[in-house]
Chains A and B, each alone.
Chain A
Amino acid sequence: MKWHRVCTAAALPPEYGVAALLGEDGAAVFRTAGDGLFAVGNVDPFSGAGVISRGIVGDRDGEPTVSSPMHKHVFSLRTGTCLDEPSVALPTYPVRYRGGDVEVGLT
């Protein structure tokens, strides 16, 4: 696995997401309220549009989530699973802080 720098930690405010050009169609990287970091695929599986990073971050029953802005499907940030339609899931990627930067790991 190789780590790729995405942006500075300062460029990713809490409860916000950014898109990164990585892998096939890009990743969506989020920071939650407790400074947790999550990375999932950026393409909404229901529409094929690269919009997941622009979704609203929140939680459902304590599970950190993002809601796709296309049709409001809610995905778990931890597992990528769509909580409204559990047969559908986003890919997930390892992500970490490194020297003031945010990095995503790809195999």
Chain B
Amino acid sequence: MTRTLVVVGHGMVGHRLIETLRSRDESGSWHVVVLGEEAHPAYDRVGLSSYLDGKTAADLSLVSQEFHTDPRVELRLNTGAAAIDRRNRTVTTTDGAVLGYDALVLATGSRPFVPPVPGHDLPGCHVYRTLDDLDVIREQATPDRPGVVVGGGLLGLEAANALHTLGMTTHVVEMAPRLMPLQVDEGGGHVLNRLIGDLGLHVHPGAATETIHADREGRVDAVTLSDGTRLDTDMVVFSAGVRPRDELADAAGLERGQRGGFLVDDRCRTGDAAIWAVGECAAVEGRCYGLVAPGYSMAETVCEQLLDLGDARFPGADMSTKLKLLGVDVASFGDAHAATDGALEVVYANNAAGTYAKLVLSDDARVLLGGVLVGDAGAYATLRPLVNRELPSSPEQLLLPAGGGVSTGALPDDAVVCSCNNVSKADITGVIDAQQAADVAGLKTCTKAGTSCGSCVPMLENLLTERGVSVSKALCEHFTQSRAELFEVIKATGITSFSELVTRYGSGRGCDLCKPVVASILASLGSPHILDDEQAGLQDTNDRFLANMQRNGTYSVVPRVPAGEITPEKLIVLGQVARRYGLYTKITGGQRVDLFGARVEQLPEIWRELVEAGFESGHAYGKALRTVKSCVGTDWCRYGVQDSVTMAIRLELRYRGLRAPHKIKAGVSGCARECAEARSKDFGVIATEQGWNLYVGGNGGFNPRHAELLAADLDEERLMVLIDRFLMFYVRTADRLQRTSAWIESLEGGLQHLRSVVVEDSLGIAADLESAMDEHTRDYTDEWSGVLNDPEKLSRFVSFVNAPETPDPTIRFTEQRGQIRPAPVELPVPTVRTDQEVSA
């Protein structure tokens, strides 16, 4: 029989609970109704601040398509729970509906605490908890105007970071004598105050907010502090702690914890056996937890009870934290304040470098109890799992850079490596040893480790190496170098042939992995034609015949149609060619016409006709720029704000023929409606009222990913410069067959790092990248014309050397819907391994 579970609150923990329940409830014993007061389905609140730094609400969403279409889950947004009737087991919603339940889970989270100082509710006062809060803050923030954040804890600093990002002159008021008083001790706090101050934020420690003043229109215009300071300000953001949202408790007769929250036992059950509470609103044996990981373990506990899987209890929580604020690392773990009897503290402070580290040890100095790291939290990932365990080496060795830190080998098997998802070292090594994963991405999928805050990723890498899984960058058995290293070698030495390269820097005679890579690098560095001399033999078949091989050994032909704009005359030529050679014709997703079924020996004749009609190679066969797709833009569209077609043509003509580690797709949309789907491309350009936004790293196909904002509101010239740099940097540094999305994820520092290189030129290579692109554009020639004008190259386009005109007898077609298609092959086809190239 199906029972009904009502979940109140669609936040991070409520959602995790439903996801876990649905993935394990194989018999479908529960129907779930979830009430969400916010307008958005569950999103990543931990990552909330990135909403001001390029991420969209969709990027932050935690909800998959399957969730929305799951017939056993009913999501009601913009709907709060107003009352609980325990006797009749019903919940009344804010819109008056009455829902019956068999089980009720409260997951209402917290509300920001707003101190009741005079003026706290004036217009211009905000809190920092939801997407809606951030929308208002963004709208009202004025660059270079002052803003005050009340509270210098973890969340306060996030809010301060946000105002700083929005360009405001930011003040942080903290009652305690130092920032982050809960996590960081006095010494660490001083270093932190200084580091944050150095970044241009004004820290006011040891001061309380006394009054908030209004101007004549009744808006915030100043704040006075207990030490008499008066700060002029446009905006006040309260971030002085949170309070559990337990307002449903009293009327329902549910007990509350001493400091608020629905009081529950260690199974997360309230006094009513049909009602549980999880996440920040739950007071587990009286204690509330303000982090997401404990909430996730509560969700796990409740799921097991709902599905009768066992008698799991909430194991208590690790309140360790690590964060990077304004580029400053801060971490605290275990007994950071040395509250344990007899605890010893070992402190290393380096004022010059601005780093502070403290370990808290047991009275015999043998067991690690906790610690604080400020300025450099590199040791956090290895130290945190050692809490309450014997130290593997001396404290100096663990902390000082020269000591080399802890190796993962020293960790006991049951040490928790990923505390967000509660994954132990043994869980991870088990997966590695069973050969279920051979890289970090695989470990993430199999164990969930590293998928939340990511601080344990370096440990995952160490564990892989320690278990003998080499994460070797060697291209293949012939080269120990990675693609990026070979690029540097070829660029520096000026070598122009594979033979010379493999003789001097490799071994053997090469293979289908290294040869195309070297061919691509030579092309990127300006070799005249990809089929010149020895290079022809390095190319994959598609490049070798400048067409795309299909399943029966014939090829498809895709001429360039820049931006997808085509005259009727040219369209007719395509139709005529297709008809003359009997080619199957299809429109592609990149706004091209694809002609299929051409035999090798037909390719030159077909292309002669196309070139004569003004077409050129479309590089659909190459690891190169494929297409720049566009919408119609201002010329025709009623909504367009910029001329997307002209822009797309300009981009396509600039980057055509550029050889890269993998194919490159692009899109240009003339307004935010995004009809060109630019955010699913390697680079996407979207018009704004002020200019153009540039997005990078999107991907469709196997691993869909939205492109992320690299820079906003650019004029045309600046846009081209940034794309030049982005593409050249990718061409030079990415791995073989690595799309831009995977490349960005693999960069240490990810998008931030990319932005610093491309936008801020942190490596000082921008001019070099730009001139390389200028050279590429200047030297571009059409590859197909290059073949048609060269008898030597043309001579290779034959079916058989000894019978150049005889069609290959293995090629046979049948008909379907009025066009040809390859005839089914009669062979018993053995299982065929799939190529790595599965992405779109």
Contacts and interface: CB of A to CB of B under 8 A. Distances in A.
A58 B512 CA distance: 7
Given A15-B509, A57-B537, A70-B549, A50 B802 contact: no
Contacts of B802: 4-7, 20-22
A25 B537 contact: no
Nearest to B553: A49
A85 B830 CA distance: 9
A72 B512 contact: yes
Contacts of B619: none
A16 B536 contact: yes
A19 B600 CA distance: 11
Contacts, number: 136
Given A48-B829, A69-B541, A58 B515 contact: yes
B829 A47 contact: yes
Contacts of A50: 553, 808-811
A91 to B, nearest CB: 14
Contacts of A88: 830
Given A26-B808, A49-B552, A60-B477, A21 B827 contact: no
Nearest to B498: A15
Interface in B794-819: 795, 799-803, 806, 808-811
Contact of B833 (A56, A60, A73): A73
B512 A71 contact: no
A70 B128 CA distance: 55
A65 interface: yes
Interface string A1-33: 000111100011111101111100110010011
Nearest to B499: A33
A43 interface: yes
Most buried by B among A33, A45, A69: A69
Interface in A59-74: 59-62, 64-65, 67, 69-74
Contacts of B834: 71
Contact of B825 (A14, A48, A65): A48
Contact of B540 (A5, A21, A56, A58): A56
Interface in B821-840: 825-827, 829-830, 832-835
B536 A59 contact: no
Interface residues of B, number: 44
B825 A59 contact: no
A43 B538 CA distance: 21
Given A16-B536, A48-B825, A67 B511 contact: yes
B830 A46 contact: yes
B549 A51 contact: yes
B537 A56 contact: yes
A55 interface: yes
A96 interface: no
B216 interface: no
A56 B511 contact: yes
Contacts of A67: 511-512
B509 A20 contact: no
Contact of A13 (B537, B544, B829): B537
Given A48-B826, A49-B810, A88-B830, A59 B801 contact: no
Nearest to A31: B537
B509 A47 contact: no
Most buried by A among B508, B795, B799, B825: B508
A33 B503 CA distance: 12
Contacts of A58: 478, 508-512, 514-515
B673 to A, nearest CB: 40
Given A19-B801, A20-B801, A20-B802, A51 B541 contact: yes
A12 B477 CA distance: 26
A56 B808 CA distance: 20
Contacts of B544: 54
Contacts of A12: 801
Contacts of A70: 549, 551, 553
B796 to A, nearest CB: 8
Contacts of B511: 56, 58-60, 65, 67, 74
Nearest to B835: A72
Most buried by A among B477, B508, B537: B537
Interface string B469-497: 00000000110000000000000000000
A70 B478 CA distance: 22
A15 B553 CA distance: 21
Contacts of A69: 540-541, 549
B832 A47 contact: yes
A12 B795 CA distance: 11
A67 B539 CA distance: 12
B736 to A, nearest CB: 13
A54 B545 contact: yes
B825 A15 contact: no
A95 to B, nearest CB: 13
Contacts of A15: 509-510, 534, 537
B781 to A, nearest CB: 23
B800 A26 contact: yes
A5 B544 CA distance: 25
A71 B835 CA distance: 6
B806 A21 contact: yes
Most buried by A among B538, B541, B827: B541
A70 B510 CA distance: 19
A16 B537 contact: yes
A20 B799 CA distance: 8
B551 A56 contact: no
Contacts of B512: 55-56, 58, 67, 72, 74
A56 B538 contact: yes
Contact of B800 (A21, A46, A71): A21
Nearest to B799: A19
A84 B795 CA distance: 32
Contacts of B811: 49-50
A69 B827 CA distance: 18
B109 interface: no
Interface in B715-764: none
Contacts of A16: 536-537
Nearest to A25: B810
A59 B477 CA distance: 9
B279 interface: no
Contacts of B499: 33
Contacts of B799: 19, 21
A87 to B, nearest CB: 8
Contacts of A13: 534, 536-537
B833 A84 contact: yes
Contacts of B808: 19, 26, 50
Most buried by B among A7, A14, A19, A74: A19
Contacts of B832: 46-47, 71, 73
Contacts of B806: 21
B516 interface: yes
A55 B539 CA distance: 9
A46 B830 CA distance: 6
A69 to B, nearest CB: 4
Contacts of B810: 25-26, 43, 48-50
4 smallest beta-carbon distances between A and B, as pairs:
A49-B553, A69-B541, A48-B825, A67-B512
20 contacts: A6-B801, A11-B795, A15-B537, A19-B801, A21-B799, A45-B827, A47-B551, A49-B551, A49-B552, A49-B811, A55-B541, A56-B510, A56-B511, A56-B515, A58-B512, A58-B515, A61-B477, A69-B541, A70-B553, A71-B832
Interface of A: 4-7, 11-16, 18-22, 25-26, 29, 32-33, 43, 45-51, 54-62, 64-65, 67, 69-74, 84-85, 87-88
Given A19-B808, A25-B809, A56-B540, 11 more contacts: A6-B801, A12-B801, A18-B801, A50-B553, A54-B545, A56-B516, A56-B538, A58-B511, A64-B509, A71-B835, A85-B830
Interface of B: 477-478, 499, 508-512, 514-516, 534, 536-541, 544-545, 549, 551-553, 795, 799-803, 806, 808-811, 825-827, 829-830, 832-835
